[in-house]
């Protein structure tokens, strides 16, 4: 009699979900307690409701920890609030994007998208989690919105990038959502964060640009890629029981939110398949036209185009052109910076 597997093996779960299942028994009660204070918090800010992009405000968590965990230092409270902020958004969204290595390699040479409009980033969920394989193991980065620190009553937003390290989410970068470009969004948030850190620690920081790391650059490039490219393949676990999930969600919604499996997309599958087909074709062509010398085709480097779409051409979209082989004579080397092109 075949064994029916109701739940996936631990090896089939995403890295972020494995981390969540290790900490959920500690995190969930804290989140529930903090969210009970949300009506009073919104009343204090004169907000009727949270912006739809925000799951749990970081300032609410920080105020709650100051009351319930007075023994923690300011830095410990801030770190815990940042961790809880992401787990709250992850628990709500449960969406993971796994990046194919060949796609990651193709996009890794793209420079900082400094002049790209901030509005070009359109998160595919309230907390997309990006996972890929790095030289020293899996890399996991999350992106979620929070109320603008220090201006929560305005309802403005900031985009927070954080990376997972030993079941805790650590800050990677902050971008102000109403800034005109990614560079301005990063620099404005970075200046405020550095001033706040100096006040908390009592000494200036040695790092001049903590938000401009290679990991933050790669995360932003991938978010731009997801905002403009349909190269995604949805995967559903074969052992999933949708009827059971519906019953559990109705009977015990809190437990369902805790243990439901995330929806996972594999990004770059079509690109990988295209590369494999191209390699097969090249092998056949070389075998057919064998000669004493081999000619390596010129590879046009990856770059990006900025397009304006929508009514009045006011919506920016970034489209990445991946490396492709150029047959015939070698073309002129392209610039190292992205090509910006406006379509009227």
pLDDT tens string 26-82 = 999 999 999 999 999 999 999 999 999 999 999 999 999 999 999 999 889 999 999
Question: pTM, whole model, 2 decimals?
Answer: 0.79
Q: Give a yes or no: residue 335 inside a domain.
A: no
Q: Give a yes or no: residue 322 inside a domain.
A: no
Domain total of the chain = 1
Residue 248 confidence (pLDDT) above 90: no
Q: Give a yes or no: residue 333 inside a domain.
A: no
Q: Give a yes or no: residue 292 inside a domain.
A: no
Q: Give a yes or no: residue 329 inside a domain.
A: no
Residue 286 confidence (pLDDT) above 70: no
pLDDT at 198: 75
Return contacts of 158-164, CB within 8 angstroms, 24+ apart. 158/189, 159/121, 159/123, 159/185, 160/58, 160/82, 160/85, 160/86, 161/216, 161/219, 161/220, 162/82, 162/86, 163/139, 163/215, 164/15, 164/16, 164/19, 164/140
Range of the domain at 138: 10-267
Express each pLDDT in 224-242 by its tens digit: 989 875 554 444 444 455 5
Structure tokens at 243: 């009827």
Q: Give a yes or no: residue 121 inside a domain.
A: yes
Confidence of residue 7 (pLDDT cuts 50, 70, 90): very low
Helix, strand or coil, per DSSP, at residue 185? helix
12 vs 51 pLDDT, higher one: 51
Q: Give a yes or no: residue 43 inside a domain.
A: yes
Q: Give a yes or no: residue 324 inside a domain.
A: no
145 vs 246 pLDDT, higher one: 145
């Amino acid at each position: 009699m075949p064994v029916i597997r109701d739940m996936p093996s631990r090896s089939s779960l995403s890295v972020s979900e494995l981390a969540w299942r290790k900490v959920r028994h500690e995190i969930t009660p804290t989140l529930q307690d903090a969210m009970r204070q949300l009506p009073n918090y919104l009343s204090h800010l004169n907000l009727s409701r949270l912006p739809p992009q925000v799951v749990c405000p970081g300032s609410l968590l920080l105020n709650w920890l100051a009351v319930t965990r007075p023994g923690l230092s300011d830095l410990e409270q801030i770190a815990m609030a940042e961790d809880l902020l992401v787990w709250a958004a992850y628990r709500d969204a449960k969406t993971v994007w796994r990046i194919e290595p060949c796609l990651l390699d193709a996009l890794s040479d793209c420079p900082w998208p400094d002049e790209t409009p901030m509005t070009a980033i359109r998160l595919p969920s309230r907390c997309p989690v990006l996972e890929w394989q790095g030289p020293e193991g899996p890399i996991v980065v999350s992106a979620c919105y929070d109320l603008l620190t220090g201006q929560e009553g305005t309802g403005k937003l900031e985009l927070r990038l954080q990376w997972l390290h030993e079941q805790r989410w650590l800050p990677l970068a902050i971008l102000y959502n109403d800034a005109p470009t990614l560079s301005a969004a990063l620099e404005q948030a970075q200046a405020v964060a550095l001033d706040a850190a100096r006040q908390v620690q009592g000494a200036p920081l040695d790092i001049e640009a903590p938000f401009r790391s290679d990991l933050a650059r790669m995360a932003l490039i991938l978010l731009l890629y997801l905002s403009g490219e349909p190269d995604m393949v949805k995967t559903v676990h074969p052992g999933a029981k949708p009827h059971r999930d519906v019953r559990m969600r109705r009977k015990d919604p809190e437990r369902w939110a805790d243990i439901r499996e995330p929806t996972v997309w594999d990004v770059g599958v079509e690109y990988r398949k295209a590369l494999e087909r191209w390699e097969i074709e090249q092998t056949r062509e070389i075998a057919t036209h064998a000669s004493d010398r081999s000619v390596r085709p010129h590879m046009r480097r990856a770059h990006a185009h900025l397009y304006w779409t929508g009514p009045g051409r006011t919506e920016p979209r970034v489209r990445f052109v991946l490396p492709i082989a150029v047959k015939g004579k070698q073309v002129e080397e392209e610039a190292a910076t992205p090509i910006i092109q406006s379509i009227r």
